[in-house]
Structure 1
Amino acid sequence: MKRRDYGQYCGLARALELIGERWALLIVRNLAVRPHRYTDLLDGLPGIPTNVLSTRLKELEHSGTIERRIAPAPQRGVLYALTPLGHELEPAIFALGRWGALHMDEPRPGEIVTSESVIMNLRGVFDAEAAAALSACWEIRAPDLVLHLVVTDGKLEAGVGPAPAEPDLVITFQPDELPSYRELMQAAKCGLVELSGRRELLDTFLRVFAIPQPV
């Protein structure tokens, strides 16, 4: 399959040849949250042309970054998922996300928020050192969004949907639309959320998922 060639014997150049095309990293970002069907990816990436999505999926599959799986019952069809090689990109995606967050203010006109972007931002800013001895479960609820964050001795498991067990704290955010990570954190910090459960874990949440600040 033809791909961009930078003509340099360099690891970064090779990485850009494999995943540097437009939309490729956002596809990887979404698949890092969970496997997606083709239509799920279209819905989660508004603005991507169908031919571009098809091309990127073929390129990522050819490079060994993603793979196709048969959806388990009762679902039908094909799911796209990251391979072990694809999951190795997660630290780089988190680092790029933290760096990009330093250059973000209010959303620009037309920009949207997705559940995948919220989860990946939370995973990217998670401070494992601050959570080293922590075990807690949060559930976050907002319009069109329910996600859970489970920390066990400094290790984070985050996903879409309700918590797998009774959450220690439920944080309910009620804007007019799906909040961005930054809006979610600012509302929690200002007390503009509803809490159910161990209220003291709100401060813990704000500490271990802190908004990046410029150095």
Structure 2
Amino acid sequence: MSDATTRPRKRSYDDGCAVAQIMDVIGERWALLVMRELMFGPKRFTDLRADLPGISANVLTQRLEGLEAAGIVARRRLPPPAGSQVYELTDWGAEAEILFRVIGRWAARSPFLAPAPMSVNSAILSMRTMFSAERAGDLRCAFALELSGLEFAVNVADGALTIEPGRASHPDSRISGSPDMLVRALYGGESVDALAAEGALRVEGDAALFQRYCDCFPLPERAPAPGPFPLI
């Protein structure tokens, strides 16, 4: 019996709309989250499993294969001495960051949004999404941010925020902790001083300046919750 008769046909919307056709790929469960976790650089299969603890190895393999076949993800082998195989977004795949920003801001208005653990990439993307130039005003600052062992250089100037992987040069402060602790400072209404006293965040340098930075991320107003279904 041929492969064509034994292999199940991939479901498709069979729709000429570009959105429908790309949803054939990124609409699969976990696909967008795999893309999110590759947004700031290549990762090994084991790294992706660690960042997405709810995904099985089999499903992750399927999603990576589908994204690779669609030209969104590529894999390559690192040069010696590492020699590991890694997955990374293609140039076109990386353009999808705008999707995460738009969907993230829209989703933050959900009346049912609830606190839950976030990955490092989730926290970084949320800052790129929620930053308010109006709140920042004339703020100028540079921070070395370390989240769960990963380093990022954070800069605010002229009402614009940049966050890039890597070491910061001449930062005003060095901040380290977990993504969830950072989120508490950004969106949970908890002060940097209180989190530092608790040991949840480590701040070396100007804590007041970092507090002002954390105040630059207002959440959008929640959408109204649905009312009760009418009785018929």
Which of 1 and 2 has greater Rg? 2
Q: Does 1:193 align with 2:195?
A: yes
**TM norm structure 1:** 0.79
C-alpha change, 1:140 and 1:188, in structure 2 (3 Å) is farther
**Partner of 2:230 in structure 1?**
none
Provide the rounded CA distance (Å) in 2 between the counterparts of 1:36 and 1:129: 35
Distance 1:155 1:202, change over 3 A: closer
1:189 CA drift (Å): 3.6
> Partners in 2 of 1:214 and 1:204 — Cα distance?
24
Q: Aligned runs of 1:1-150 on 2, under 5 Å?
A: 3-103=10-110, 104-107=113-116, 112-127=117-132, 135-140=140-145, 144-150=148-154
Q: Give the aligned partner of residue 200 of structure 2.
A: none
Identity of aligned residues (%): 30
Partner secondary structure for residue 43 of structure 2: coil
Structure 1: gaps (5+ residues): none
The separation in 2 between residues aligned to 1:32 and 1:8, in whole angstroms, is 28
Task: Quickly say closer, same or farther: Cα 1:13–1:128, change in 2 above 3 A.
Answer: farther
Compared CA separation, residues 136 and 83, structure 1 to 2 (3 A):
same
Q: Shift of residue 134 of structure 1?
A: 5.3
How large is the RMSD of aligned CA atoms in angstroms?
A: 2.9
Per-residue CA deviations over 1:139-191 (Å, capped at 9, x if unaligned) read 3456x3554342254251233x6x33232123455xxx751654232365464
Residue 219 of structure 2 is matched in structure 1 by 211
Match of 1:156 among 159, 162, 177: 162
Q: Which amino acid aligns with 2:130?
A: V
CA deviation digits over 1:71-122, x for unaligned, max 9?
Answer: 2443222110101110111011122122223332233xxxx43222222222
| Corresponding residue SS for 2:88 | strand
Deviation at 1:126, TM superposition (A): 2.7
Distance 2:59 2:49 in 1: 11
Judge conservation of contact 1:169–1:197 (CA < 8 Å) in 2.
yes
